[in-house]
Structure 1
């Protein structure tokens, strides 16, 4: 499946062509002259081809420094993994290997560009599944080295956090410092973002992520993944119009008063409830459990977000924006609950709640290209031998970038 968002204007495309000859000359002389050339040609677009393969989506996109998304290709693997109940690493790696060449080809075709028009290549360096990351990494490195293009490896969660800086209207772009809630199948993080590369971890999960909990409960309730995955299937299931829905009570929020998430206990509560139930569940009973789970999952996020804001306020830090991103950010029920929680916390001064477009909440290469853009345009890029980081603390991005950058 592929999606195309936006298009380049005739004027900006003309600016790009204006520097083509000069680009070729500079690249033939030496890559280190690239930064100097960018200063001379500051008004021209910088165009990035980005690759993402950290989990089970094979992604390629083309993004420009003028906040244009020229193409966005996402190839899903849900049908390959549903039988395993989760991502099977070997299956995912093999699918990435099959899909990546075609994804890159379509991203360029949709953008109506060739590799000659690409100024830099970005890829997901981590965190993620090591073998999956290696597919995007190897593709990006080979393209960059063969074509003498600058290369940058990007932190996956940093890219999620910075997406609204690309997609929000110019008058509503989040201002630093802002809170960012990163919620996906691999992460549940509450962060204070003070710059594009500086993130302080306020809370994380000691066990499983909120996204993984959604996936496991969807499986426990026997839901089909559909085309959007198990988490989205559970959200859709909660909206079913059922005449008779029993009262199954509510599930508590763990670690009250502590800045920490725990979703394995919520998933286990559903598991224990089902184990103690006699006979098969009616559809109404399954809907009731799905709704109770979704409510408890949202309540935990809201309570920890509010607690994080309170703790920051004690330090005289009062962010005016909350950015929510990652696959779970596409859940519309959760969006409504978070808005209500912020209104209760700050009724007099509105805290803006910012989400990427739904199609950019889940993994994509658009966010990877954009997260690399500030480094590309300042001439700060990585060596072709840059290593992967399957585990990568987001608070160490600046240090990792310094080690990987060219002298």
Structure 2
């Protein structure tokens, strides 16, 4: 086949978003995401409800992706899907669907690691969006993951730092829950932080060896701080909401930046690319852009739609794997834990 005409249908179902995308080579023709609102009343993702919603959403989402791309399924070159990591029930829906469709169309099947996809999202071709060159450091930050990855090639990646307990997204959401915000609360902290003073309150920076992260102690510090202050003043959160949010956000950014600075020093690599849902945070984006001037870094920040879980990033990995003829077979199974 002419590599100029590779059409990939990509499917992402690792957590609570059902997504399908169609790529023509490294260009996105469509990227459809169906979010699941049902989890809001529970204050977090309920795995059983997530997998049921995926079953309801997957056919309409795939149809919509093909329709928006103006592509007939017979034109597809291959199907890429998220094999893991993620919630097992959710992954099974996407994996089963992708396998069945690939068999039905008699086209190759491509397995994708969700974390690799967050990193390779930087190689989706978009106007006015520069791509990193190798090697670079990827900071992948989401509700389930916090990693610093040394990226030497499309498929040569080494995790040089990761969280030893909670992910950064969880630190945002749990802090928001302590403040009484609805789920997901991370974006609300970002919103209120814009109007607050980041130096109003201070939270301890965890002492963790090497390039690894820890956020459990940070969450506990926020909890004790709010309990103490609200005991003295029941209106403390209402009266100081913006400053509290700005201080929490700054505390988290300080933890991330300390490790990134250490990583650039140890590796000598000054190209930094961020990915994952938390990279949508405006405070983190601004700090990274400032770091270009302060530390001489070159930073790469993907479009918002490619930061959260989406199928376009699965599709770009699928495209590069297709060029390598790196296919899998219908005996493949989903993996809840799946290292890069």
Cα deviation, residue 268, structure 1: 1.0
* Cα deviation code 1:196-231 (max 9, x no counterpart): 111111110001000111111111111234xxx421
* Structure 1 Cα separation of the partners of residues 152 and 286 of structure 2: 26
Cα deviation, residue 183, structure 1: 0.3
Q: 2:7 aligns with which of 43, 47, 69?
A: 47
Richer in strand (by share): 2
- Mark the structure with the bigger radius of gyration: 1
Cα deviation, residue 122, structure 1: 0.5
* Structure 1 Cα separation of the partners of residues 149 and 324 of structure 2: 26
* Structure 2 Cα separation of the partners of residues 328 and 81 of structure 1: 19
| CA pair 139-391 structure 1, distance change in 2 beyond 3 A | same
User: Residue 51 of structure 2 corresponds to which residue in structure 1?
Assistant: 93
Unaligned runs of 5+ in 2: none
User: Residue 369 of structure 1 corresponds to which residue in structure 2?
Assistant: 315
* Structure 1 Cα separation of the partners of residues 119 and 10 of structure 2: 17
Answering whether residue 109 of structure 2 is matched by residue 151 of structure 1, we say yes
User: Residue 325 of structure 1 corresponds to which residue in structure 2?
Assistant: 275
Unaligned runs of 5+ in 1: 1-37, 314-318, 395-407
Contact 1:257 1:307 survives alignment (8 Å): no
* Cα deviation code 1:157-194 (max 9, x no counterpart): 10010111114558932111111000000100001001
Q: 1:120 aligns with which of 78, 87, 97?
A: 78
Q: 1:182 aligns with which of 131, 140, 144?
A: 140
Contact 1:168 1:356 survives alignment (8 Å): no
Q: 1:310 aligns with which of 265, 277, 284?
A: 265
User: Residue 251 of structure 1 corresponds to which residue in structure 2?
Assistant: 203
Cα deviation, residue 247, structure 1: 7.4
TM-score, scaled relative to structure 1:
0.79
TM-score, scaled relative to structure 2:
0.94
User: Residue 274 of structure 1 corresponds to which residue in structure 2?
Assistant: 226
* Cα deviation code 1:328-368 (max 9, x no counterpart): 1111111111222343333xxxx211011011110000000
* Structure 2 Cα separation of the partners of residues 246 and 284 of structure 1: 15
SS at match of 2:236: coil
| CA pair 291-144 structure 1, distance change in 2 beyond 3 A | same
Q: 1:353 aligns with which of 282, 288, 299?
A: 299
User: Residue 165 of structure 2 corresponds to which residue in structure 1?
Assistant: 207
Answering whether residue 243 of structure 2 is matched by residue 288 of structure 1, we say yes
| Bigger RCO (CA 8 Å, 6+ sep) | 2
* Structure 1 Cα separation of the partners of residues 240 and 8 of structure 2: 49
SS at match of 2:83: strand
* Structure 1 Cα separation of the partners of residues 129 and 292 of structure 2: 21
Answering whether residue 256 of structure 2 is matched by residue 301 of structure 1, we say yes
Cα deviation, residue 382, structure 1: 0.5
